Amino acid sequence: MRMKQTRRNPLAFIDTLPNPKLFRMGALITAAIVLLVLIGLVWMPYEPTAMSADQMQGISASHLLGTDKMGRDILSRVMYGSRITLVVALGTMVIGAGLGVLIGAATGFYGGMADEIVMRIMDGLFAFPNVLLALVVVSLLGSSTVHMIWALGIAFIPSFTRVVRSEYIRCKHLDYVKNARLQGASDARVIFVHILPNVSGVLLSNLMIGFNNAVLAEAGLSFLGIGSQPPYASLGQMISDAQAYFFEVPTAVLGPGLVIVLLVLSFSLMGEGLRSAAKELD
Amino acid sequence: MAKTIVQMGGIYETGAELGGNVLEVDRLDVFYRERTRILRPAKTLQRALHEVSFSIGAGEIVGLCGESGCGKTTLSKAVCGIVPTFQGRISLAHERPQMVFQDPFGSLNPVKRIGWLLEEPLRVDRMRTWSAAERAERVAEVIEQVELERSLLGRFPAELSGGQRQRVAIAAAIMRKPRFLIADEPVSALDVTIQKQVLELIASLHERMGLSMLFISHDLRVVYQVCDRVMIMREGRILEQGPVGDIYRFPQHEYTSVLLAAAGLEQRRSKRDATA
Amino acid sequence: MASLTFAASPTPLLEIRDLHLEFHDHDRPEVAVEDFNLTVEAGEIVGIVGESGSGKSMTAMAIAGLLNRHALERSGHIFFDGVDLLHCDRATLRRYQGNDIAIIFQEPMTSLDPLQRIGRQVEEALRIHHRELSADARYDIALRAMEAAGLSDVERVYRMYPHELSGGMRQRVMIAAATISRPKILIADEPTTALDVTIQAQIIALLREINAEHGTAIIFISHDLSLVRQLCHRVVVMKEGRIVETNTAREVLLHPREDYTKMLIDAIPRVEL
């Protein structure tokens, strides 16, 4: 009598996507970078902050990506820097998307005067440039990775709120929602169990784009000197430091740069894989 | 046993002592107001329903006919208790009624499987808690009654035909063994041959469960098929109500005649005059 | 009604021969229409009846030249005015669309451009096919077409936007726009399904009038047998892409030959007063 749900291969969903090839490519690259970071948690060729006499060395057997101005191994620094970039990007998404979805769902579902007020606040926040907001937070609280996450996270809330809110406004009038309420489901249940899965399609796309923006924002901000402080540098910071001697040790810039590019590319590919290609018009 | 008094003094009660009736609506006026925005004050109140009064007895199927905008949907919403601005009294002998909507789009959550959708009314049941085993058992019982194949439980709504979806909607509505149900244009979106099957299903459920119903439809022929009594509605008012045969044969209102004519059911005037 | 019978002439207005339409955008090819044969004489009203999935709308779209030509495999012929519409080039097809062949759809809500005024949309066909007309001439013809379609206060309606009109009025606008260039054949794909019962009756009457006054042939697609009976001279019953039965409207309804037709008639709720 029991309704059996046959356990299927969890990765089988990839085949149901509009564009599985792109998604797989993106997922692979992301996996490679994540692997790099994970390895870095337990082992790195050298200490990222260990200075040495071998300064400004090019690619060699002992230093796969060479060394920087202070003799630090670039590969190790890239492994460490990627960790910071990922942490910041993910942290930003947790705050930005997490809070954004909650606020958007609530305000979209309930509407009314509160909705108007919340959206005007969001508009104000949205109009504020990320950089300025980060500067404000940093000047108030001091520059560090955690503060960067908060600053960017808050800056990202409005776009998620907006997207989720419009989906909720669209869905809340549909018959299945009315039905759920008539059956006696609580508001919270309707919002999270009934409507949210319908919103997740759009949300996922936005999460991919958001992640990319977070990576780039972090890189940009740390390039400007806000955020993680030396000697523990994030990828953006490494680029900033090394741009002066780019021609002498190009890997000092290309190393971190490549990781950023690959990270953004891979997420874009996954995002594309989730979207169906536009139908060809006659 | 639960009485709510809304903003305008209207009374909505469930679990009331109504003798042999499942629903009594007494002089119901429903109002609505445009949505308030900042800096744009709400316009004046508009009236959607005027002095609507009727009752539905246990085991009766009462039809509600009218064209779009006549207030059918507002009335069904009011009876379900989701309209906060009304005057008058709505009394139900049991709990708030479940509703069967007009498919095809939107009445079943597209991202949930059929099995999940059928169990949901049992999961949110406020009257009792159902264990997983009890839920599975009840679902199996009901899908047999509505003649749905068990294999459909694992599918998504989009994979079902219109007729099958409507059976699911009916199954969900009777899951908690209600005594009274509202059906809002339940067969209007279905092909004629499927329509017949679903109507037969409704009729058999009615017989088996002693279900009372408010059956909303614009199709007079369908109403004739299932309903004992019918109410003709126009612009928020009930023009006339009575046994289906009587209303169809001897319409008192011009508008009723118009509806009958449009449905190809016009009676020759001589017959009507003869019995006037 | 249905006392007129159209003798098959050597040159019918529209001749569909062995029409076969197949979809190839999924794993398995899906046959939408098979072995479809039909002739329509000038001034005739032919009803195509079927349930969902019967292929009736697909056939209509094929005649109107509105099928997405990529994912579709088609064979057969649709002869109109000596041209095979199924295999001609786009330019030729465009010359007929909106001019000699017009189509109105089921959803008056989405058939009109919400951002353009009514008048402009009604005139559209004239703008494309009769460029020799001056703006004033177009305006006059448009007003007259709207009046003929049963709209009142046409000068005011001309300047309005679609959302300001009711469903019935929008459908009349569609009919005005479709008939403005005096098409030889009008395809009506479930034009009354989304409308109220009383408006439905009016639109049917309007179509009958257009046919009587201008001799416009009509292909009327519907799932509603009773409507088809009121309007059509001849009826074609379709099921799963094939023609099941074809005869005069009267015969199909009173003396159905096929089981499926009988089933359709039987499914109409009977009212015995």
ipTM: 0.84
Under the banding of pLDDT at 50, 70 and 90, the label for residue C62 is confident
Place of tokens 């109409």: C268
How far is the C-alpha of B153 from the C-alpha of C25, rounded, in Å? Answer: 28
How many inter-chain contacts (A to B, CB under 8 Å) are there? 64
How far is the C-alpha of C205 from the C-alpha of C211, rounded, in Å? Answer: 10
How far is the C-alpha of B149 from the C-alpha of B73, rounded, in Å? Answer: 32
How far is the C-alpha of B91 from the C-alpha of C203, rounded, in Å? Answer: 42
Q: Could you tell me the residue ranges of all domains in chain A?
A: 91-281
Question: What is the enclosing helix (H) or strand (E) of B32?
Answer: strand B21-32
Place of tokens 């009374």: B11
Chain A closest-CA separation from residue C206 CA (Å): 34
Chains that touch C (3 or more CB pairs under 8 A): A, B
Cβ contact B98:B18 at 8 Å: no
Nearest to A113 among B36, B102, B115 (CB): B36
pLDDT value of position B44: 67
Partnered with residue C48 across adjacent β-strands are C221, C236
What value, to the nearest 5°, has the Cα angle with vertex A130 and ends A127 and A132?
90
Cβ contact C250:C232 at 8 Å: no
- Identify the three-state secondary structure at position C117: coil
Q: Please compute Rg for chain B using Cα positions.
A: 20
- Identify the three-state secondary structure at position C100: coil
User: Could you tell me the two tokens for B24?
Assistant: 């009594």
| pLDDT tens string A25-47 | 888 999 999 998 898 888 888 88
Q: What is the mean pLDDT of residues C46-73?
A: 84
Q: How many CB atoms lie within 10 A of CB C67?
A: 19
The CATH class given to the A91-281 domain equals mainly alpha
Nearest to B80 among A180, A182, A194 (CB): A182
DSSP strand pairing (C83-84 vs B180-184): unpaired
Nearest to B111 among A116, A185, A198 (CB): A198
How far is the C-alpha of A97 from the C-alpha of A157, rounded, in Å? Answer: 6
Q: Which one of C70, C89, C94 would you mutate to disrupt binding with A, by most A Cβ within 10 Å of its Cβ?
A: C70
Chain B closest-CA separation from residue A175 CA (Å): 4
Q: Could you tell me the residue ranges of all domains in chain C?
A: 1-100+184-266, 112-182
* List of residues 6+ apart from A218 with CB closer than 8 A: A85, A88, A89, A92, A148, A152, A227, A234, A236
Chain A closest-CA separation from residue C67 CA (Å): 9
Partnered with residue C243 across adjacent β-strands are C238
**How many angstroms separate the Cα of C147 from the Cα of each of B214, C140, C180?**
41, 11, 11
Pick from C38, C20, C12, C33: which is nearest to C76 by CA? C20
pLDDT value of position B274: 41
Query: Which regions of chain A are under pLDDT 50?
Result: 1-6, 277-282
User: Could you tell me the two tokens for B211?
Assistant: 């279900």
* List of residues 6+ apart from B195 with CB closer than 8 A: B187, B222, C267, C269
Question: ω into residue B104 within 30 of 0, thus cis?
Answer: yes
DSSP strand pairing (C217-222 vs C45-49): parallel
pLDDT value of position C255: 92
H, E, C per residue of A186-248: CHHHHHHHHHHHHHHHHHHHHHHHHHHHHHHHHHHHHHCCCCCCCCCCCHHHHHHHHHHHCCC
pLDDT value of position A63: 81
Q: Which residue of A has its CA nearest to C70?
A: A282
| pLDDT tens string C201-234 | 889 999 999 999 999 999 999 988 888 888 999 9
Q: What is the mean pLDDT of each run of 10 residues along chain B (276 residues)?
A: 77 88 92 64 75 93 89 91 88 91 82 94 91 94 92 90 91 93 90 89 92 92 92 93 92 91 67 42
Average pLDDT score, chain C: 87
**Which segments within chain C are labelled E, that is strand?**
14-23, 30-40, 45-49, 72-80, 83-84, 101-104, 185-189, 217-222, 234-239, 242-248
For residue A175, which residues of chain B lie inside 8 Å, CB to CB?
101-102, 106-107
Cβ contact A177:A113 at 8 Å: no
How far is the C-alpha of A158 from the C-alpha of A150, rounded, in Å? Answer: 14
**Which segments within B133-258 are labelled E, that is strand?**
180-184, 212-216, 229-234, 237-243
Q: How many CB atoms lie within 10 A of CB C29?
A: 11
Asked if A180's CB is within 8 angstroms of B120's CB, the reply is: yes
pLDDT value of position A196: 93
Chains that touch A (3 or more CB pairs under 8 A): B, C
Please give the model's pTM, rounded to 2 decimal places. Answer: 0.81
Cα(first)–Cα(last) distance of chain C, in Å?
24
* List of residues 6+ apart from B151 with CB closer than 8 A: none
DSSP A116: H
Percent of chain C past pLDDT 70, that is, above it, reads 94
CB-based contact, B203 to chain C, within 8 Å: no
Question: ω into residue A45 within 30 of 0, thus cis?
Answer: no
Pick from B30, B20, B158, B144: which is nearest to B93 by CA? B20
Q: Which one of C54, C165, C170, C197 would you mutate to disrupt binding with B, by most B Cβ within 10 Å of its Cβ?
A: C197
The domain C1-100+184-266 is placed in CATH, from the list 3.40.50.2000, 3.30.390.10, 2.20.25.10, 3.40.50.300, at: 3.40.50.300
Nearest to B267 among C52, C223, C273 (CB): C273
For residue B191, which residues of chain C lie inside 8 Å, CB to CB?
51-52, 223
pLDDT value of position A280: 34
